[in-house]
């Protein structure tokens, strides 16, 4: 199983994630895609399970292109798509690895809003961009259309429409923890990006250059 996260100038949130990743079973792989961070690029980390890719351009709303890159580089099999402000507890990962998953479905999970750093939480809505699906299903749906990244949530909306053609299930006993910027200052950095509206030219997917950091 591979977990795919996108990163943009949020080293504090990354540090929080690494605290949890250290407790994951060895068979879990993690891909972090740095989406062109101009100030705090993701650095090499001493974590064998972690691979970092860096996109060489700072492109408006390219979170979806970064997800495409993560799925492109993931191993065949199950891929867990996540925002960096969403932590998957090690307990959830251990339970997930024991699940008998059906590749004809994609899966969603419950999400809890963290109210403090001591572990107090409340149930919140599920996030449409948090899902577990096979790599083959993702690309059968076409991935995110990066030509639409110039429109706010344009690429996300199109992919969500495609997802409706597939059946989904809720993963019982599996949950994620969401951290807001009131707890971790850089948890949700997307508002830092300048808007450049309009249809982008080029390829629908992987419409950028990138490099592997580690």
CATH code of the domain in which 20 resides: 3.90.550.10
Q: Determine contact, residues 30/55, Cβ cutoff 8 Å.
A: no
The total domain count for the chain is 1
Instruction: Return the pLDDT at 5.
Output: 97
Which letter, b or e, does each residue of 38-50 get, where b requires 16 or more Cβ atoms within 10 Å of its Cβ? eebebeebeeebb
> pLDDT tens digits for 49-100?
999 999 999 888 789 999 999 999 999 999 999 999 999 999 999 999 999 9
Helix axes 63-73, 154-163, angle to 10 degrees: 50
Q: Which domain holds residue 153?
A: 2-212
Give the predicted TM-score (pTM) of the model. 0.94
């Amino acid at each position: 199983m591979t977990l795919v996260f996108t990163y943009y100038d949020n080293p504090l949130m990354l540090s929080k994630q690494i605290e949890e990743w250290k407790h994951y079973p060895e068979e879990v792989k993690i891909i972090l895609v740095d989406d062109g961070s101009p100030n705090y690029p993701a650095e090499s980390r001493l974590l064998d399970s972690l691979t970092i890719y860096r996109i060489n351009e700072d492109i408006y709303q390219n979170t979806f292109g970064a997800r495409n890159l993560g799925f492109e580089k993931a191993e065949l099999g199950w891929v867990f798509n996540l925002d960096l402000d969403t932590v998957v507890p090690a307990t959830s990962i251990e339970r997930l690895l024991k699940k008998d998953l059906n590749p004809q479905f994609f899966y969603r999970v419950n999400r809890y809003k963290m109210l403090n750093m001591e572990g107090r939480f409340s149930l919140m809505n599920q996030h449409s961009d948090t899902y577990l699906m096979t790599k083959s299903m993702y690309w059968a749906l076409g991935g995110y259309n990066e030509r639409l990244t110039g429109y706010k949530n344009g690429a996300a909306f199109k992919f969500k429409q495609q997802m409706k053609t597939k059946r989904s299930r809720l993963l019982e006993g599996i949950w994620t923890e969401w951290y807001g910027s009131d707890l971790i200052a850089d948890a949700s950095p997307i508002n830092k990006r300048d808007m450049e509206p309009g249809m982008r030219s080029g390829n629908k997917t992987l419409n950028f250059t990138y490099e592997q950091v580690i």
